[in-house]
Amino acid sequence: MQIIVTNGPLSEREQDAYVRQITRKIPPSAIEKLYLDVHEDYVDVRYTLHRYRELRKMGGYCISEPDTWNGAKQAELRDMVPHRFGEDD
């Protein structure tokens, strides 16, 4: 997690307090950046989360995100018919 302090100084102890407060609700591994915007009487806290890659399984193999595929694989994805669970034929 990257901590970015703007508009003034903030001691390590204060930064740790804000990190502890945020990580009570959100796992630290999910937070990419924590922004601490210092004002005179208060601190604005914002954060961005890690972008989790969408992995797809096609043809029995786990392959990367669809936007990195070649044209043939993208066409295969478009033409796939989803399997419907629990429906009577």
Per-residue pLDDT for 87 more than 60? no
Q: Which residue has the higher pLDDT, 24 or 87?
A: 24
pLDDT of residue 62: 59
Task: State both tokens at 13.
Answer: 């102890």
Per-residue pLDDT for 77 more than 80? no
Report which of 33, 35, 31 is spatially closest to residue 52, judged by C-alpha positions: 31
How far apart, in whole angstroms, are the C-alpha atoms of residue 34 and residue 26? Answer: 12
Per-residue pLDDT for 20 more than 90? yes
What percent of the chain lies above the pLDDT cut of 90?
37
| pTM of the model as a whole | 0.56
How far apart, in whole angstroms, are the C-alpha atoms of residue 4 and residue 2? Answer: 6
Q: Are strands 61-63 and 43-49 parallel, antiparallel or unpaired?
A: unpaired
What percent of the chain lies above the pLDDT cut of 70?
75
Q: Are strands 43-49 and 56-58 parallel, antiparallel or unpaired?
A: unpaired
